[in-house]
Structure 1
C-alpha cells in the first residue's frame, strides 16, 4: 500500500506542479522517479523519454503509465495516470469557471508569460544532463558529432523528431546486438581453446 501511495504522491506532484504542459513535466518526473524514489536510472529514463516522444499523446501520461506499470503493474499504471491527470481536471474546471472574471488582471498575464522561460530553462538543464551522460558513455567527440548531425537534420532538412528518434533507437539496438554477438562469439572461442 505504501508503494501505491508513493506512486500517487510522486505523479500528483508532477500533475500539480507541471504548469506549462508536457515538456515542463519531464524534469519533474525525472526528479521524482530517478532522484527521489530511484525507480529507474538516468539512462533508463533517457531511453523511456526517447521512446515516449515517438508515440502520440501527452508525454506526462505516457511516462506515468509506463513507470507506474514498471513499478507496480497494472494497478501502478492506473494509479500513476490518475495522479497525473486529477490536478489538471480539477484546475481546468476551477479556472474555466472563473477565467472570464480574472483574465484581464496583470498578474494573470504575467504568470502566463513567465511560464515560457521557466520551461525553457528546465528543458535546457535536462538536456545538458543528458549530454553530459552521453559524453561520459560514448565519449565527447561522438556525442558532439551526433549533436551536430541531429541539429542539421532537424533544422535544415526538417526531419520530424519522432522519425529521427526512431532511427537512432534502431541504430542503438543494432549496435548493442552486434556487441552482444561479438561478446558471445569471443566467449565461445575462449571456451574451445
Structure 2
C-alpha cells in the first residue's frame, strides 16, 4: 500500500476517534483501541497495552501521544502527522463551537445536563477497557498476580497519591531488570 494511502487510513481512523471521543483522552482510549486493534489490526492487544502504558508515563495528553506513536509506527512521519492532525482537528472545532454555545446558553438546564449525561457512558467504556486489560493480564500473569498488582497500584495511586506514571515506570524498570529465566542454548563446545 502506498504511504499516502496509509496516511489517509490513519487520518480517517483517528478523525473518527476525534469526532466520537467526547470526554477527553481517557474517553478516547477505547475508541483508539477499536480502530487500531479491532478494525485495522495495526497493533495487537498486547502492543496496544504497551503503547498505553508508555504513553501514560510520558508528559502531555494521551489523546495526542497515542495517535502520534501509532501513526509513526504504521505510516512513518507522514502517518504521525496525519494521525495527530486528525485527532486534534475535531477537538479544536468542537471546543470552539461548544464553548461559544455554552457561554451563550449556560443557564439552560439541558446544556448543563448534556455534560453530566456523558459521564456514565464514559464510565462504562472505561470499565469495559479495564475488564479487557484484566483478562489479558490474567492470561499472562494469572488471576492472583493480576489482582495483587491491581490492588497495589490502586493503593499507591488512590490512597498514597503516587502519580500513575511513576507506578507504570517502576513496573517497566522492574520488568527490564528482572532476569528472564531463559536457558542458554547448548551446543558443541
What TM-score, normalized to structure 2?
0.92
| RMSD after superposition | 1.5
Quote how far apart the aligned CAs of 1:112 are.
Answer: 0.5
Change (3 A) 1:142 1:98: closer
- 1:192 — aligned with what? 188
- 2:138 — aligned with what? 135
Richer in helix (by share)? 1
Quote how far apart the aligned CAs of 1:28 are.
Answer: 0.5
Which of 36, 47, 51 aligns to 2:50? It is: 47
Quote how far apart the aligned CAs of 1:101 are.
Answer: 2.6
Change (3 A) 1:153 1:101: closer
Quote how far apart the aligned CAs of 1:150 are.
Answer: 1.6
Any unmatched runs of 5+ in structure 1? none
Query: Runs of 4 or more off by more than 6 Å in structure 1?
Result: none
Change (3 A) 1:147 1:97: closer
Quote how far apart the aligned CAs of 1:102 are.
Answer: 2.4
Quote how far apart the aligned CAs of 1:32 are.
Answer: 0.4
SS at match of 2:59: coil
SS at match of 1:19: coil
Aligned pairs for 1:94-133 (under 5 A) are: 94-133=97-136
Any unmatched runs of 5+ in structure 2? none
